[in-house]
Amino acid sequence: MYTVTIRRTFSAAHTIAIGGVKEAMHGHNFAVEISLESMELDGDGVVVDFRTVKNHADIVLKEMDHSYLNDLTFFKTIPPTSENIARHIFERMEKACASQNAVLSQVTVWESESARATYRRGNRG
In this predicted model, what pLDDT tens digit does every residue of 84-117 receive, in sequence order? Answer: 999 999 999 998 887 678 899 999 999 999 999 9
pTM, two decimal places: 0.92
Mention every residue, 6+ apart, whose C-beta is less than 8 A from residue 119.
Answer: 83, 86, 87, 89, 90, 106, 107
Spatial separation of the C-alpha atoms in residues 114 and 125, rounded to whole Å: 27
pLDDT band at 125 (very low <50, low <70, confident <90, very high): very low
Which fold does the domain 2-9+35-119 belong to in CATH?
Tetrahydropterin Synthase; Chain A (3.30.479)
**Could you tell me the residue ranges of all domains in the chain?**
2-9+35-119
On the question of pLDDT at 123 being above 90, the answer is: no
